[in-house]
Chain A
Amino acid sequence: MNAVAARSLDDRLNPILVKEVRQALRGRYFRALFWLTLGVATLVGLSIVANSVRSPGAQVLGREFFMVMFGCLSAAVHAFTPFSAFLSTSAEWDENTHDLLVLSNLRPRQIVYGKLCSALVQALLYYSTFGPFLVFAFLLNGVDLAALGAILFVSMASCASLTLLGVALASLSAAKAPRVVLMALFGIGLVMFWGMSLGMSSGVVYSPQMLREPEALVMLAGTVVSILLAGAFFAAIAVARLSHEEENRSSGLRVLSVAIVISALAFGAWMSWGHSAPDFAWGLQVAALFPLAVAWLFFLTEPEPLGRHVRLHVSRNPLLAALSAPFLPGGGRGALLMLLHMLLAAFGALACMAFGPVDPVRRSAAFFGLLGVYAYAWIYMGIPAGAASFFVRSLRGRVVTRMGIVFLLPVVMLGPLLVGLVLGISGLSDPLHPFNPATALGALMDSREMTKLVELALAALTLLSLALNAPRMIQGVREVLAASAERRAKPVERS
């Protein structure tokens, strides 16, 4: 019976998981690092215990011991494991095995899921190895059980998200050179994250009363949810990148981007109505702009025409087809999606705040402030992308346009500041000069009026961006309707 159950489980396992775990446990990378971490943890732990015999202080001892153990564990699950996921995904390109995976009909999401699971299996090995040490730290006294639970909970969520980030980064480019750069950046980022996780957890361990405050549980839940949402975002990027080049790489990410706005709205509504903290409603929308901006960078610069493969899957129903237009690939339809995000975020935040204890002036300030931040996105991303829409057909054109937009932002934020400082123009030497999106945010936060001139300029430039993008937005919907009509005209094929 047991053997039968084991067999059927074995059959159901994700093939990538089976392969990766085999490879990882046999590979030098995992083995060396595993024993290294364990060795360092044991040595440092012993020396702490030995030291304490001379200068007793049980409270401190437990905390110190915990921090050392968690430091090693964190290095393993937040740095080594995500990095190995990056390397294994990277190897699929280098070894030409990606084609074989496509041919074997594995879906990109199965590949990403398999990579995630195998990383989690490795992490689990670390957690179970370090478990006894952590229990020992708890027995030494001084470490709060709630703190221990919270730290481990957040660290597991982070491990999953960082792994997905690694897979997403490695899947960005099939060419080797950009991946080497990404690998270096990712490595540096992981080390920084490791430092941050040590700082945060020592904060929690050394002042556990923090966790007893009424807001603590909400904050903890909020943190874990945002970490996991970020992970889902990375997973969607990886799935899109691992999909076949001509296949629809965009729709999954587009749906997820709307889900980000909606879940931020839901959390904002909950905070506004349930906890009388209405500022969350717009604050979360501003926070959501960071992942959204990354997504827009790609959506706005996609080549316009629908791929042949996508055309064959447009809905026959013209209404459904039109509604699905913002979610189909293409730059014009990307602009349409951005418009949808903006309306959803601004009016959603307005609705969330409508029932909270907030005065109408602040409410309208939040509404217009949010529109103001979106206006910057329309100007800095919409205008160049709209102007370059004929340029992005080739891969090189796309790369140049995207890089251009990415470099534009620091230039417009820091450039005027430098000019202002050098030439002594007071309006620009303030970091919150009118070219900086944070200006709109600043005005929003302290309900400060922006100068009328800046407001007018923002409105005018946003209209310009909309006008520049309008033809391709319209064309984008038309093309979808045409594809739908084309499908209606054809007889239904056999299934």
Chain B
Amino acid sequence: MALLDVRGITKRFGALKAVDGVTFQVSPGQICGFIGPNGAGKTTTMRVCSTLELPDEGDVLIDGLSVLGEPREARKRIGFMPDSYGAYANTTIHEYLDFFARAYGLQGAARRTTLARVIEFTSLGDLTEKYIDALSKGMKQRLCLAKTLLHDPPVMILDEPAAGLDPRARVELRELVKALAQLGKAILVSSHILTELSEMCSSVVVIERGQLKGGGTVADVVRSVNRATTLFLRALAGAEACERRLLETPHVLNVRREHEGVVFEFDGDLNAQAELFAQLAASGLQPVELALRDTNLEDIFLSLTEGKLQ
């Protein structure tokens, strides 16, 4: 069963439909990327999932609990990391985490061990006595993640966690998120840094102007966007021979030379693709490399969205 089950939610702000009938699921252990241009409704969707806004229509089930009917129970199972979050003045990292641990109702030894656990997990150990105001962006991001993990929620909703981080911090964040998914959590993560998402997500959901534009595993979405798969072929027979041969093959489009091989698009189904591979192997071309050219999320993003702002 999906831990996060978004069922046709709609959210209006006055006349504006910020989210319009969005439906998707995230299962345990899955990292789902949530992409869309500015103002697409990502933050609004995430806030609805986290009970911070109630949907005008539809519902969200968190581990089977409705955010409408049982928001307090649902909240115990959600870890939401907002895109902008608060820091209290005159408070150290330890005090900040201690405050939220108390707010989550953790008591005595349980609170102390939990604090130690999240501080270790996010490598904040040496900084616990630092004041929050004095932290760098990356440190704050870790602190916020630590805060989100305090009550060990099975569903995690991260709104642009990588924004403003340097490359090293981003890699570290990615590893942390992957580790969390391995613990069986369902994770929804939005980001503008698409390469970031494509490296860690098992599935993606694309949204534009409040409406779902596509979703599924990365491969599914790639296939749905590019009816044609992009392939790269290199053979001992040479680029020219490859080109000639391919131009006679059905379903092949846009053949062009690149490095010592050819890049071409193929718009047949999987059976046709298998047949093509067999034919190429049987032909006298002596292929040494036949590879799928990665369509990354950047391409999906650009081809699914129209770039219109709302």
Contacts and interface: CB of A to CB of B under 8 A. Distances in A.
A424 B84 CA distance: 62
**7 cross-chain pairs, A with B, having the tightest CB-CB distances, nearest first:** A97-B86, A15-B102, A104-B103, A95-B86, A246-B54, A11-B107, A96-B86
Q: Is the interface of A mostly helix, strand, loop or mixed?
A: helix
A105 B88 CA distance: 18
A97 B88 contact: yes
Interface of B: 14, 50-54, 56, 68-69, 71-72, 75-76, 78, 80, 82, 84-91, 95, 98-100, 102-105, 107-108, 111, 147
A93 to B, nearest CB: 9
B103 A101 contact: yes
B10 to A, nearest CB: 12
Nearest to B98: A18
A103 B52 CA distance: 8
Interface string A361-396: 000000000000000000000000000000000100
Interface stretch (A21-29, A32-40, A327-335, A469-477): A21-29
A95 B108 contact: no
Contacts of B69: 312, 493
A66 to B, nearest CB: 35
Interface of A: 7-8, 11, 13, 15, 18-19, 22-23, 26-27, 91-92, 95-106, 244-246, 307-309, 312, 394, 493
B53 A246 contact: yes
A105 B68 contact: no
B104 A104 contact: yes
Given A22-B91, A23-B89, A312-B68, A105 B52 contact: no
A6 to B, nearest CB: 11
Contacts of B85: 96-97, 99-100
A7 B110 CA distance: 12
A22 B90 contact: yes
Contacts of B68: 308-309, 312
Nearest to A312: B69
26 contacts: A11-B107, A13-B102, A15-B99, A15-B100, A15-B102, A15-B103, A18-B102, A22-B91, A23-B89, A96-B85, A96-B86, A97-B88, A100-B85, A103-B51, A103-B75, A104-B100, A105-B72, A105-B104, A105-B105, A106-B103, A244-B71, A246-B54, A308-B54, A308-B68, A309-B71, A312-B68
Nearest to B87: A95
A26 B100 contact: no
B159 to A, nearest CB: 11
A12 to B, nearest CB: 8
